[in-house]
Chain A
Amino acid sequence: MILQLKNIKRVFSINQSKLEVLRDISLDVKTGEIISIVGASGCGKSTLLKIISGLDTATAGEVYVDNKKIVKPSQKEVGIIFQEPRLFPWSTVEKNIEFGISAKLPKIKKKRIIEEHINLVGLNGFEKALPSQLSGGMQQRVSIARTLINRPKVLLLDEPFGALDAFTRINMQQEVLKIWQFEKTTMILVTHDIDEAIYLGDRVVVMSSKPGVIKKIIPVELPRPRDRTDGDFAYLRKKVYSEFFENQKVSSEYYI
């Protein structure tokens, strides 16, 4: 088990009232596995990622990466990619990626691994470009390269393609799979796109909200590359959808 979540609970205090965002989240992730987490907004999936990355602390419960307890951000263990690329507008693509490097390396080695990662995300020729000169998809590629450069054991993706248009999104999903084939990085992908969850994930974790709990874990046993138009794919999609909207059938006023 590369990643273990043990009874994670997170309670926020807002003006003295307590809001339970996550309750009893437990999950074991195998090395090289891709886990998709889907859930309505407000189900605490982003909070969960922040806890795994060490940016936030759980009220109760523990996170272990490679049997090491996570208490603060540690990029060797966990890397995170945010919904927005969060690139520094004053730095070139090269410099932005360089910011990710944590180890003290000689200049030549640094230059080499930066180049490698620019190649990995397919941005050759854009080394000296500023983020504002790149498209949204390209910016997100830079962000991925910046995080991957430390070879984190677990890669967290927080709705990484949510801000991109449909075509770019599919393109980026293939890109992520390509990287996964090279590196076999363990990934946790939070998304609200059910197709994306099934296309990428080995398992799809469906969360429900208030408080956020794991409602169902659906294994995706389809061979890669997966075909979105495939019958099995459609079946899984239906399965996830039904988990998603089960509760809402009760509130019939939405169905007029």
Chain B
Amino acid sequence: MNILKIKEKIILILIAAVIPIFAVAVWQVTSNEGLVNKSILPGPDKIIEAFRKMIQKGTYKKHILASLGRVLKGFLIGSSAGLIIGISAGLFKRVNQVLAAVIGMLRPVPPIACIPFLILWLGIDEESKVAVIVIGSFWPVLLNTMHGIKSTEPKFLEVARVFEKNKLKILLKIIIPSAAPAIFTGLRLGISSAWTCVVTAEMIASSMGVGYLISYGRELAQPDTLFVGIISIGIIGLVIDSIVLKLQKVLLYWVALE
């Protein structure tokens, strides 16, 4: 039984790897044959070489940690704000009414459009970058939390009334667990938005981070550095998402069973 499961998992991973492996192989062959200009698109071997050098010099770690640190800070602030405001708007009609117009107007503004203003306002240092991430992760968490809270099963609320539970008990035992799947979706979208925002912010004005690495590679005509940056974004995004999914399986144990 267990061996079968492992076997199945290996097969699944292999299937998922078919396209990437094929793409890299084609890329390498075309590069070797000189079919593409190496100064524009270096082959995988060159990129791995650049990657190795950066790790050896310690610059890779520095850039990655800089970006991750910003994402963590911004996401923590943004998602907490989204959670708190989302829960209060979901619970209290008045809060929802007060916020409706503001939310409707601000939500369509892409966080990236705020970067110039944030730089003017908060300076070119860390604060402005973290602020972009805060905005980027705030919206998905807010909207999904509000939606989750509002869609609490009314029949469960009736049960709470029959058992004469107070507001706090209802919030903790019924409303929050009901909303948890939606909140989790919000957090997942929020973290991926945070990751997008950090790269953009770093490309516009920074001296460190993955986004900086990419714009640096472009300015110095080092396409291999540039590609190291792009591939890192993809891989880190994948890692973050799979961590969140694992977490979701553990925290929302009842959803998988339903």
Query: A interface vs B, CB < 8 Å?
Result: 53, 55, 73-75, 79-80, 82, 84, 86, 88-90, 99-100, 102, 130, 132-133, 150
Contact = CB atoms under 8 A, between A and B. Distances in A.
Contacts of B1: none
Contact of A130 (B162, B174, B254): B254
A133 B155 CA distance: 20
Contact of B164 (A75, A80, A84, A90): A75
A132 B161 contact: no
Contacts of A84: 155
Contacts of A73: 161-164
B162 A88 contact: no
Contacts of A89: 254, 257-258
Interface in B154-183: 155-156, 158-159, 161-165, 173-174, 177, 180
Contacts of A88: 156, 173-174, 177
A90 B156 contact: no
Given A86-B158, A86-B159, A90-B177, 8 more contacts: A55-B158, A73-B162, A74-B164, A80-B162, A89-B258, A90-B253, A130-B257, A150-B163
Contact of A75 (B162, B174, B177): B162
A6 B147 CA distance: 43
Contacts, number: 48
17 contacts: A53-B162, A55-B161, A73-B161, A73-B164, A74-B164, A80-B162, A82-B159, A84-B155, A86-B156, A88-B156, A88-B174, A90-B254, A99-B159, A99-B163, A99-B173, A102-B163, A130-B254
Contact of B155 (A82, A102, A150): A82
A90 B177 CA distance: 7
A102 B165 CA distance: 8
A133 B256 CA distance: 12
A75 B257 contact: no
A79 B161 CA distance: 11
Nearest to A133: B257
Contacts of A133: 257
Contacts of B173: 88, 99
Contacts of B253: 90, 130
Nearest to A78: B162
B35 to A, nearest CB: 56
Interface string B240-258: 0000000000000110011
A129 B71 CA distance: 39
B78 to A, nearest CB: 26
A214 to B, nearest CB: 25
Contacts of B158: 55, 82, 86
Given A84-B155, A99-B173, A132 B162 contact: no
Contacts of B177: 88, 90
Nearest to A100: B163
A99 to B, nearest CB: 7
